[in-house]
Amino acid sequence: MAHVADKKGLVLARIPGTSVPLAHTIFGASAFILAFIIGCYGHYYKIVKNGVAGYPEEWFPSVSATTGDWFPERNICQIFIALTSGPRLMLCYLWYLLIVRNVPANGSKGFAKFLLGNDVLRTIACGGWVYVTSSDDHDIHDIAMMVYLVCTIPHVVGTIKTAPQNARSQWYRRLFAYTFFGALIPMIYFFIQHNIHRIPGAYTYYAFFEWSLIISDLAFDAVNLIDFETFEFRIVDVGMAGKQGGNGAALNGLKTYGGSEGGLAATLGSIKPFELVSFVSDVYLGFVFWSMLTALPLMIWYFPLWHMGISGYEAFLFCNFTAGLLGIGFLRRSIESAKGFVHLLSLVGVLSYKIEDPALRLMAVAAGVSLSLLTWGATLFEQRHQNGRAERGVLTLALGLLLHNVVKQAWWANNPIWPIMNENTGGQNMVGLVLGVLASVQVMLRKEPGADEPKVIQSAHGESWFLAALGAGGYLFCLHSMFTDSTTISRWSLGGYPNTGPQPVPGGLMVVAAIATGLTLSSKRRWVTSLLWWAIGTGGLAVLHFIEGDVGFAGGIVFTVWALSLFPVLFRSLTRQPPGRTFLVTMLVYNIMALAHVWVVAYAFVPAGEAMRERTDYVLIAMQTLLLLGVFNSNSTAWKNVSEARSQAVSSASFSAARLYSKLTLVGLVLSSIGICYQRMPKSAPQPHHPEHKLITAGIWTIHFAIDNDMYNSELRMRDAIRDLELDVVGLLESDLQRMIMGNRDLTQFLSEDLNMYADYGPGPTKHTWGCTMLSKFPIKRSTHHLLPSPKGELACAIHATLDVYGKEVDVIVSHNGQEEDLLDRQLQTAELGRIMRESDNPFLFLGYVVTKPGKGEEIYELLMDSGRMHDIEVSDWDRWCEYLAFRGVKRVGYARVSHGGITDTEIQIGKYQLLENHPTSWDRSQSLQAFKKEEKYTQIPEDKVPMGLRFPAMFYGKGVRNHHYHVFDRPYYYV
C-alpha cells in the first residue's frame, strides 16, 4: 500500500471501515458454525442427549451442549470468540463516535455513553457464558447469559434509534430484531415443556429457536457493513513535530467526538476530596432515612402479631403526618438551615436499639422517622430555587435507597442498623450510629455546594399540587413495598421446583443492577414521563404478578428499571408545590396504600377485611394509577416553564459534580453487590447429618416471622437450634417476610446458606398467606405450592416436595392450616392434604400445623391420619394442639418436643426416621384402613439401646442450651 503525505504526517495505511464489522461477523459466525460441525461429527449422540431423553426423541443439539461440553468443539468456539472480542469492542467504540458525530440528530452524548457502557458489558457477559460453561459453574454461566440477554434489549433498541437514516440498513435491523425477540416466546414455551413437564423431544425444538437467536444476533450486527461503507481508517505517522504541533487539533477532534479532555485521568482529577466526602455523607443520611422508614412498620407489626388483631400501636404509622408542618415557612427554613443538627436528632431512631421495652423503642423510631422526613422535605423544598443543590438532594436520596439494598444484601435481607438488630443478632447499630453522627457533623460544618449560585425561580404553572401529591404518595409506597430489598422481586416471581425463578443469589444482583439502570435512565425526562414508558413498566408489573419463574422475574426487572427511572421526576415535581398540604396528602396516600397492602393478607384480623381479601391486584392497579397521574402531571406544560431553569442547572458546578459522584457511587454499589453475591455463593453441596444410618431427622416449627418475644431478630438463634438438633428437613411456618410490615426480609436465604441446605420458600407474597418454608439437606427434585381451600378464614399454604433421599424419592408436606374459629376451612384443608398424601406412592413425611386435638373421635385429626393413610409419630401424646408429625414408608426411630426458647410461642417437634432397604416404602391402595392401621404397632425402648448416631443431642436435657430443652415428657422417645 502506498504511503502518502497528509497535513498531520505520513499516512501509512488506509483501511476500509467495513473491515471491523466484517471481521466481527466472520469470527463470530465461525465460532458457532465450526463448533456445530465438529460437535455433530465427533459427539453427536452425546450433545443431543439431555436430562429427559436422548436420540431419537432428541436429535438436534442445543447451543450450550454444542459449544460448552466437549473437546475440541468447545475450545474451537472459545478461540474464535476471543478473536471476535477485538472487532466487537472496536465496533462498540465506533458506534459511539457515530452517535456523537451527529448529536442531536442521532441522540445525545449521555445516551451514547450509556449505550457504549451497555455494549461493553454485553461483550464481557458473552465471554462469561462462553468461557464459563454450565458444566464449570451453572450459576455463573446463567448469570452471564441473563446479563447478556438483558443488555441486548438496550443494544438493539439503542442501535436502531441512533443509526444513520439509511432505509436499507434500518429495514434489515428491524427484521433481525423482530426475529430475535420473536423467537424468545416459543423458546421459553419449549423450555418449560422440557424442564417442567419433561416432555421428550421438546428440547430439540427449543434448540432450533436457541440457534435462531445466535443467527439473528450476528446478523443484526452484520448490518453495520452497510453503514460503515463510507468509513475509512487511517494510520498516520505524525512524527515528533507533528505530535507537538498537532496537540491542539487532536484535542479539538476529541472534543468534537464527544470525549472529554484528558479522559479518565481528567475525570478523576476533577474529584475534590471534600466535595466527595460531603456527597457520601448525604448518601449515608439517605440510607439512614430508608432504614428508619422501613423499620417503623416492622416494629409496629410486633404488637398486632401478639395481640392477634388491632393493638392500637398502628397509630404510629401516622407519625409521618408531621411532614405537613413544612407548610409553616419559618419552621421549614429553620430546619433547612440547621439540617445537620436535625439529622443528628433523628438518629434517636438508630440509637433506639438500646431500649429494651418494645413500646418505648417504637416511639423512638417514630420520632426518628418524623425528624428525618421533615429534614429531607425541607431540604428538597428550600433548594428548589437552586437547581444544582435540589438535583443533588434527589440523587443522594435515590442512592441512599440503592445503598440500603446493597447493605441488606450483605446481611441476608436484614438491615444491620435496624432497632430489631443488636450485637447478639448480627447488628452493627453502633457503627451505623457513629457514621450517622459523623455525616451529620459534616453537614453542620460544611459550606453548602451551590449556595453562591444565582437563584432560578421555578414556576409550577401547569402542574397540580394535588396530582403531584397523589403521584408522590403512590411512588413512596411503590419504593417501600417493592424496592427496599433486592430479593422482593425474585420472591414475587417464585414458583415450585424446578422452575423457582432466580434465587436471592444471583437474583438480588440483577435487581441491584436494574435499580442502577433505572436511576441512570432517569435523566431522559421526556422519555420516562411518556405514556409508552408507563405502559412498558405496567406490562412488566403484570408479568411479575401473574407469571411464575424466570419469565415473571424478567417482567419484574423491566418494572424495576421503569420505576426507578421516575425517582427524580416525581420527587422534583413534589418540591415545586406548596409544601404543607402537598406533603400531608402525600403521606396520607402512602399510609392508605400501606394499610391496603397489609389488609390483603391480614383480612381475618382487621375491620372490613373481606373487602380487601387477596386483592393485591387492587393495590397494584391503584398504585399504577397514582403513578400515571404523577407522571402525567410532571409531563405537563410545567416542563416548558422550567426548561430554562433546567439548562442553567445542568451547567451549574454543583450539579455537574453531583452527577459525577453519583455515577461513581452507582458503579461502586453495583461492584459491591457483585462481590457480595460471589462471597455468598455455595461452596459445597449439602450433606445429611448421618448418612451412615440413612437417617432423616425432620422437624416443624412456627417461627412468628423471625421476631422474638423481645422484638429482636431471631434468625441467628433459629440457626443455632436447627444446627444443634441436626435437622435434615425442617418446615418453618409464618415465614413469608416479603411485606412492608415484616421489613421485606427473607430468613430463608440466611438459614439455607449458613446451614448449607436447599430451600423452598413456599407460596410467595402474591399468594396472600403467612408463608411456609422447607429447608432440606437432601436435593429437592420437584415441588408444588398449594393454596388450601379457605372459603371463610385466612388462606392456608402448603409445600408438597419430592426429595432425593439416599437415592430414593421421599415426599414431604409442610403445611400451615387455618385457625380454630373456622371449622369448615380446617375440614376442607385437611381433606385436601389427605388427598395429596393418599395419592402418592412414595414414602411420605408430614410436617404441619393442624388445629385439632389428637386421638380417636377428633374429626380433623382422623381426616389427616386416616384419609391420608399416615401414621401419627406418637399416638399417646395427647398434649398437642397445632403441630403434628406423621409418616408412611419409613422406619420410625425417635420423637422429641423441644421448647421454643423465647423465640416464638410455639415449640419445635422433631421426628427421626430411617429409609431402609428391608422396610416397605409404598402402600397398597386397595388396602383397607383397618389393615393399614395394623402396621402402626411399635415399641418404645430406652436411649441406651439406641446407636449413638440415631440419638437426639444430649445438650437439650435438663435446662438445655439457650433456653431450648426437651419438655412435656422431658426426654426423647425412641422406637423399635
Q: Which residues are known to be catalytic?
A: 816
* DSSP symbols for 520-573: HHTT-HHHHTSHHHHHHHHHHHHHHHH--HHHHHHHHHHHHHHHHHTHHHHHHH
**C-alpha cell at position 156:** 438493539
* DSSP symbols for 845-864: EEEEE--S--STT-HHHHII
Please check whether residue 812 is in contact with residue 837, taking contact to mean a CB–CB distance below 8 angstroms.
Answer: no
Residue 505, CB half-sphere, CA atoms under 13 Å: how many? 27
| Cα distances (Å, whole numbers) of residue 571 to 436, 518, 792, 831 | 24, 15, 42, 52
Q: What CA–CA distance (Å, rounded) separates 125 from 96? A: 19
Cα dihedral angle (853, 859, 864, 870), rounded to 10 degrees? 90
Convert 11-40 to b/e letters by CB count within 10 Å (16 or more is b). Answer: beeeeebbbbbbbbbbbbbbbbebbbebbe
Q: What CA–CA distance (Å, rounded) separates 368 from 362? A: 10
| Cα distances (Å, whole numbers) of residue 57 to 50, 61, 123, 200, 205 | 10, 12, 35, 6, 11
User: Of all helices (H) and strands (E), which one includes residue 784?
Assistant: strand 780-788
Q: Is the dihedral of CA 416, 418, 424, 430 positive or negative?
A: positive
| Cα distances (Å, whole numbers) of residue 417 to 77, 290, 427, 714, 895 | 49, 11, 6, 15, 40
At position 193, the amino acid (one-letter code) is Q
Convert 378-407 to b/e letters by CB count within 10 Å (16 or more is b). Answer: bbbbbbbebbbbbbbbbbbbbbbbbbbbbb
User: Of all helices (H) and strands (E), which one includes residue 93?
Assistant: helix 73-101
Q: Is the dihedral of CA 570, 419, 749, 761 positive or negative?
A: negative
Please check whether residue 409 is in contact with residue 512, taking contact to mean a CB–CB distance below 8 angstroms.
Answer: yes
Cα dihedral angle (346, 351, 356, 357), rounded to 10 degrees? 0
Residues with Cβ within 8 Å of 424's Cβ and at least 6 positions away in sequence, in order, are: 712, 716
| Cα distances (Å, whole numbers) of residue 919 to 843, 872, 885, 889 | 10, 18, 20, 7
Please tell me what DSSP assigns to residue 707.
Answer: B
Convert 838-865 to b/e letters by CB count within 10 Å (16 or more is b). Answer: bebebbbbbbbbbbbebeeeeebbbbbb
Task: Please state at what angle helix 358-382 crosses helix 579-602, rounded to 10 degrees.
Answer: 140
Cα dihedral angle (16, 21, 24, 30), rounded to 10 degrees? -90
Other residues' Cβ atoms within 10 Å of the Cβ of residue 921: 18
For residue 966, which phi and psi values (nearest 5 degrees)? -65, 130
User: E strands along 530-676, which residues?
Assistant: none
User: Of all helices (H) and strands (E), which one includes residue 332?
Assistant: helix 329-337
Q: What CA–CA distance (Å, rounded) separates 100 from 85? A: 23
Residue 135, CB half-sphere, CA atoms under 13 Å: how many? 11
Please check whether residue 833 is in contact with residue 825, taking contact to mean a CB–CB distance below 8 angstroms.
Answer: no
Which of 566, 564, 567, 578 lies closest to 323, judged by CA? 578
Q: What is the CA radius of gyration of the chain?
A: 31
Please check whether residue 592 is in contact with residue 529, taking contact to mean a CB–CB distance below 8 angstroms.
Answer: no
